[in-house]
Structure 1
Amino acid sequence: MDEAIRSIVGRHGRLTRPIAEIAGGDDLFALGLTSHAAVNVMLAIEDRFTIEFPDSYMSKNTFGTLDSIAATVRELVG
């Protein structure tokens, strides 16, 4: 799951560094993730894992790091 999320963020996140150089706790917004790119990441994750992010999860906290994205996906996949 973590590798799939990393791949999606790498493709859709428009980050300033290669995804291979980014640690799980690095601030993705500081690395160039915009709100528009975060929506693209969210949509790709929803498609890949057949989940839907509730409105309450639409925040910088959810999409701020690879670790927070993975934790949220694990919770939603259940």
Structure 2
Amino acid sequence: MSAPLWGHKPPRVADSTAYWNQAPPVMSPRCAYWLDRHAAGTWRPNRRIRTEGYHAAAEHLGIWIWEYLHVVRPLFDDDNGTN
């Protein structure tokens, strides 16, 4: 099977709640993957992700909750011009 143009997704984090209230020591590879895709214009969150709660959305994306709340979710808000 050939890889998509943006590469294969890295594995999910083992426990999305491991970093909830504090930043992880390093960004997860999966979060970096979503940031790269967003910067390249090859990924935008769909309605399901936008309407899910933060825990469900972090699980869906395979990242830590802190990363969703402080790194990924602000991208959604910027896309909508709500900041």
TM-score calculated relative to the size of structure 1: 0.35
User: Which structure's CA Rg is the greater one?
Assistant: 2
In terms of fraction of residues, the more helix-rich structure is: 1
TM-score calculated relative to the size of structure 2: 0.34
